[in-house]
Structure 1
Amino acid sequence: MSNNPPVILVTAADLAPQAVELLNAYELVFAGRAPQDDEIVALAKKHNPVGIIVRYGRVTAETMDAAPNLKVISKHGSGIDTIDQAAAQSRSITVVAALGVNAAAVAEQALALLLGCAKSLVRLNGRMHAGYWDKSTHKTLELRGRTIGIIGLGAIGQRFAKMADAIEMRVLGFDPYAKNVPSYIRTVDIQTIWQESDVISLHCPLTPENRELINAASLAQCKKGLILINTARGGLVDEDALLKALNSGHVFMAGLDSFAVEPFAAPHIFQGHERLLLSPHIGGVTSDAYINMGVAAARNVIAAVAA
């Protein structure tokens, strides 16, 4: 009988030291910075892990079949759409997310994107560095008194709503599953979000039902001059439809931290567009969130393996 410790496969090149310490009873195998499906499958087959901590890449049914000892797939974050949940359920493999631990980081990123869009920060910064002084020709947007529609009222959505309320925006929220919604959010149906929002910010998980929720039809119902913020999942947005709405001016600006295909590969239809403010899905990537997500993911693995 082997005396080797059980293996945890981490789909990344690293894990916070605090999380590594929690997992000291296990052998940790790291898949690298941007692991592809076949690489994850090969590592699962070679090491037969009892748990997988998912940072990057996907966990497919093929990966699960390559690891007969697999008991738990633990997401290093909140979104589990990169895990084949139906396949895991049919194999009695636990899937668990580190819910809420990166809420502050992602909400702050959403706020940064919103302010960047409303205040034309990137464009004005570029103009200043090029020697221009546009004070007499440029006006930015004041957010106070405007309406923001937040889709998804989990930990991140509610935290961002609190920030919007603090700058005196009127806050609408749509989430059929939310409970104990704070009083500064007025819960409404999705049609009200489309029709009344000056800003729409996405904070919901990606599901088969809401894929491309932002599409030509929904954008057509929105106010002209909309600002769209997405720090959730790229699959929530029909990127071609958004580009057309930006080109027509129906959407004033969009601040995006997630994309339909990641990593963002050049050439991309969004590159070089002056009405787009882009970041590489780093909303939850802060030094604090890195530790919090790692520790939560590690604890979830330990609990599931012991169950």
Structure 2
Amino acid sequence: MTPPPTAHKPAVLVTGADLAPEALALLGSYDVHYAGKTPSEESIVDLCRTHNPVAIIVRYSKVGAAAMDAAPALRVISKHGSGTDTIDKAAAAARGIDVVAAVGANAAAVAEQALALLMTCAKSVVALDARMRHGHWDKSTHKSVELAGKTIGLIGLGAIGQRMAAMAHGMDMRVIGHDPYAKQLPDYIDVVSLDTLWAESDAISLHCPLTDDNREMVNATALSQCRAGVILVNTARGGLVNEQALLAAVRSGHVMAAGLDSFAVEPMAQGHPFQQEPRIILSPHIGGVTGAAYVNMGVAAARNALAVLARHSAHA
């Protein structure tokens, strides 16, 4: 006898080349398809048209209205991480598609990267390493910045910002922060206005999502309000910073140094002026990329997608 045909599994599209095995195990009832390491918006639309996924797990690239229209079965778009600015949320809402995020899954990883960039700037780690490799010994002439007793201003006090606050507090820094949505904060975070944060911070670290309202919030005007010698760290979204204004402020010395893990255009093209500025420390948006975060984000993204699909099934 010919065996009966296997039941067709609904599809899940991952806009990346892989997913943690722990996340894949949760998706055993689905056919999982991958868009590759550097998918384009067009390739994602094509894959939606081919596979008609019920869920998209977003790692890289953008998911817009065209992809949603190419997948009539689509019920949920689940971010492999916390930032949903690469998803057209208005288009999703108009089509009854849920957008969910793995909030907090990479909080430890990103906060540690922010701290690493802050310390690298304050202690001139990269510059001193380069000097040593060229035979210099700057013990008698170099003075690093001591962060104990300094004020750090955190813009965004969600899971990542609060973790950064705890580490800074543990280093005896004064912690001030701005976040109109934050609730139940520890008492060592002094919530202030944005104007106060610019004026009183010795270091500023960005931990907020990118929105139309805060795009390029770190601009020439904001930087002019900051203390001379301020350090800027951005592990959030590149669009929060006006890059030309930051470059000018670093070159003038008003900003002592900047540690950046995200940029207005990614990947950064060869020849970007930041690459020629030794006091701008660069990393390729890997703050949330650790072994543990990879698993945590994958599992959270899968669970979030499954929860929405289960709700739709219950109402079908």
Q: CA RMSD in A?
A: 1.0
Residue 39 of structure 2 is aligned with which of 35, 38, 47? 35
Give the AA of the match of 2:33.
V
Separation in structure 1 between the aligned mates of residue 8 and residue 258 of structure 2, nearest angstrom: 51
Give the AA of the match of 2:243.
E
1:211 match: secondary structure:
coil
> Residue by residue, what CA displacement relative to the aligned partner does 1:100-131 show, whole Å, maximum 9, x if unpaired?
01100000000000000000001111111222
Separation in structure 1 between the aligned mates of residue 244 and residue 65 of structure 2, nearest angstrom: 30
Tell me the equivalent position of 1:225: 229
Distance 1:43 1:182, change over 3 A: same
Separation in structure 2 between the aligned mates of residue 16 and residue 80 of structure 1, nearest angstrom: 20
Residue 73 of structure 2 is aligned with which of 69, 72, 76? 69
Tell me the equivalent position of 1:300: 304
1:145-164 mapped onto 2 (5 Å cutoff): 145-164=149-168
1:271 match: secondary structure:
helix
| Bigger radius of gyration among the two | 2
1:136-215 mapped onto 2 (5 Å cutoff): 136-215=140-219
Separation in structure 1 between the aligned mates of residue 69 and residue 94 of structure 2, nearest angstrom: 11
Separation in structure 2 between the aligned mates of residue 3 and residue 22 of structure 1, nearest angstrom: 18
Separation in structure 1 between the aligned mates of residue 100 and residue 118 of structure 2, nearest angstrom: 30
1:193-272 mapped onto 2 (5 Å cutoff): 193-272=197-276
1:270 match: secondary structure:
helix
1:99 deviation in Å? 0.5
Separation in structure 2 between the aligned mates of residue 220 and residue 173 of structure 1, nearest angstrom: 19
TM-score normalized with structure 2 length: 0.96
1:2 deviation in Å? 8.7
TM-score normalized with structure 1 length: 0.99
1:70-149 mapped onto 2 (5 Å cutoff): 70-149=74-153
Separation in structure 2 between the aligned mates of residue 204 and residue 42 of structure 1, nearest angstrom: 32
Separation in structure 1 between the aligned mates of residue 273 and residue 74 of structure 2, nearest angstrom: 39
Separation in structure 1 between the aligned mates of residue 271 and residue 12 of structure 2, nearest angstrom: 36
Give the AA of the match of 1:61.
A
Identity fraction in percent: 64
Q: Flag as ranges the 4+ runs of structure 1 deviating above 4 A.
A: none
Separation in structure 2 between the aligned mates of residue 232 and residue 37 of structure 1, nearest angstrom: 22
Q: Which runs of 5+ in 1 are unaligned?
A: none
Tell me the equivalent position of 1:277: 281
Tell me the equivalent position of 2:51: 47
Give the AA of the match of 1:219.
L
Paired residues in the alignment total: 307
